[in-house]
Amino acid sequence: MNYDTDVVIVGGGFAGITAARELTQRGITATILEGRDRLGGRTWTRDSALGRKLDIGGTWVHWTQPHVWAEIGRYDLPLVASPTAERALWRADGRVRTGTAEQLFALMDPGMTGVLAGSAELLPNPYQFRPVGDELKALDHFTIAEKIAALNLDQEQHDLVEGFWGLSFSGLPDVGAYTQAMRWCALAGGNWQLMFEACATYKLKNGTKSLLDAIVAQSTADVQFNSRVTRIEQDDDGVTVTVDGGRTHTARKAIVTLPLNVLNTIDFSPALPSDLVSVATEGQASTGVKVWVRVKGDIGKVAGLGPSSCPLNFFQYEYDIDGDSLIVAFGSDSTRIDVTDRGAVEAALREWIPDLDVVAVDGHDWVADELSGQTWPMLRPNQLAAVQESAATEHGHIRLAGSDYAEGWAGFIDGAIESAKTAAARILPELV
Ligand SMILES: Cc1cc2nc3c(=O)[nH]c(=O)nc-3n(C[C@H](O)[C@H](O)[C@H](O)COP(=O)(O)OP(=O)(O)OC[C@H]3O[C@@H](n4cnc5c(N)ncnc54)[C@H](O)[C@@H]3O)c2cc1C
């Protein structure tokens, strides 16, 4: 049979472009079918009306994340650190308090240590825990909120730890799986402060697009934009992939990199495993928002944390722009705040700093976005085994890749790159 290409890669985020580079550098032909008019998916470096280039999606990287860190070294890309907070505000037990970051961390420590106790022992090699064992499966019944509640913390400590996980899950702790938290902490050697550092310290100086462009430059894959895949049909020999409008592409293999919450928008024939389809139907737990905010004047190097019930429950100072302050803020529930509404963002931040004036805002609703349906993936209880098993398996001629299916830092750019390298390496022997 003649194929249009060896491999069709569905989606051109970090997973898709990494898989394309890995395959085409070894002489395999590949076509990326991307539903948007740009590459990058849930990363998006764009010129912002706030006065500088900003990362609207994924941003921070860290040396605990070996796959992305190796790529940054490979292309010799400059990094910059987010400023260290000199003042911390925390909203807990119904009040806003001020102190140092150290004071805030000390208040959080009993709860964080309690929730995460045993993470390094549970997952001594957190990049290799498939197949999901009985101990992990048993723990996967619990939500992170249940684990926090069981610690009987005082209200202030409870609100801070609950808020931290609302931030980390980009979602509500009462629907997020406890095992996700254990995985993150195990990846930081069981140290929650290092885990936090990994999530919000180093940024690519020229944006995530600088890494994206470097990887794309080493790929010879054909990229077709505005090509939303609607159906993938398999026979004994390969796949036929149909895009919106009816155009088809044939290939020997397909790598599918769709976020879990939109996986079911493709009609797979034969169907993907029923337990994975059920997870995609239920949806993973992230429902949150990220917004960049230009605030009038110099507000100093400040960070704030509060419970997930706040429309914006975390923010930190990032840049000075002509005497104004640029901060980044997060919330757990996109239905509570419109990140393009300056007034709504100002009202949410005034719960912390009453005289704060918001000049302008920039953000994107990733949850409403039909090509993502979520922010960074965080699983609900009882989803882990189905997702990990599907990620490790070839489904006929199809493999899944993407940060949602990573074994290590799932949810991160690192996980997208890791899973893509694995998927490409697994299919390569069948193609050469
Ligand atoms: C607000 C936000 C903040 C984040 N912060 C960080 C961070 O600081 N650090 C970090 O490491 N990670 C962060 N992440 C997560 C990180 O950005 C993602 O995990 C990673 O970029 C996912 O890459 P991916 O290739 O797996 O998926 P995606 O980037 O989602 O790529 C999938 C691609 O498939 C396309 N697609 C979807 N459906 C179809 C279809 N039917 N046909 C064709 N194409 C389709 C999409 O348009 C997309 O381009 C953040 C994410 C968000 C949203």
**Which residue, 117, 174, 149, is CA-closest to 381?**
174
Say yes or no: CB of residue 403 within 6 Å of ligand 1. yes
Instruction: Return the axis-axis angle of helices 66-74 and 413-431, rounded to nearest 10°.
Output: 80
Which of 247, 257, 261, 417 should be mutated for ligand 1, with most atoms under 8 A from CB?
A: 257
Distance, CA 403 to ligand 1 centroid (Å)? 8
The answer to whether 175 is a known ligand-binding residue is no
Handedness of CA 90, 94, 163, 261 (dihedral sign): negative
> What is the token pair recorded at 221?
């894959």
202 lines ligand 1 (CB under 6 A): no
Pairing mode of beta strands 229-234, 239-243: antiparallel
Buried b or exposed e, range 403-432, using 16+ CB within 10 angstroms? bbbbbbbbbbbbbbbbbbbbbbebbbeebe
Residue with tokens 């709860």: 111
Residue by residue, pLDDT tens for the chain (432 residues) are 789 999 999 999 999 999 999 999 999 999 999 999 999 999 999 999 999 999 999 999 999 999 999 999 999 999 999 999 999 999 999 999 999 999 999 999 999 999 999 999 999 999 999 999 999 999 999 999 999 999 999 999 999 999 999 999 999 999 999 999 999 999 999 999 999 999 999 999 999 999 999 999 999 999 999 999 999 999 999 999 999 999 999 999 999 999 999 999 999 999 999 999 999 999 999 999 999 999 999 999 999 999 999 999 999 999 999 999 999 999 999 999 999 999 999 999 999 999 999 999 999 999 999 999 999 999 999 999 999 999 999 999 999 999 999 999 999 999 999 999 999 999 999 998
| Atom of ligand 1 at shortest range from CA of 364 | 1
Q: Is 183 exposed, middle or buried (0-12, 13-18, 19+ CB in 10 A)?
A: buried
Task: Using CA atoms of 114, 287, 243, 216 in order, give the dihedral in degrees to the nearest 10.
Answer: -60
**Ligand 1 close to Cβ of residue 58 (< 6 A):** yes
Domains in the chain and their CATH numbers?
Answer: 5-42+207-283+373-431 (3.50.50.60), 83-200+289-365 (3.90.660.10)
Residue 246 CA to residue 226 CA, distance in Å, equals 13
What is the C-alpha separation between 288 and 159, in angstroms, rounded? 18
First-last CA distance in the chain: 16
Distances, alpha carbon 317 to alpha carbons 22, 217, 295, 381, in Å? 37, 33, 10, 33
Classify 151 as helix, strand or coil. Answer: coil
Pairing of strands 60-61, 358-363: unpaired
Ligand 1 centroid to Cα of residue 329, in Å, is 19
Spatial separation of the C-alpha atoms in residues 23 and 423, rounded to whole Å: 10
Per-residue model confidence (pLDDT) at position 1: 72
In whole angstroms, what separates CA 59 from the centre of its chain? 9
**Beta strands per DSSP E along 239-367:** 239-243, 248-256, 267-269, 289-295, 302-305, 314-321, 324-331, 358-363
Do β-strands 5-10 and 30-33 pair in parallel, antiparallel, or remain unpaired? parallel
- The predicted structure's pLDDT at residue 375: 98
115 is annotated as contributing to ligand binding: no
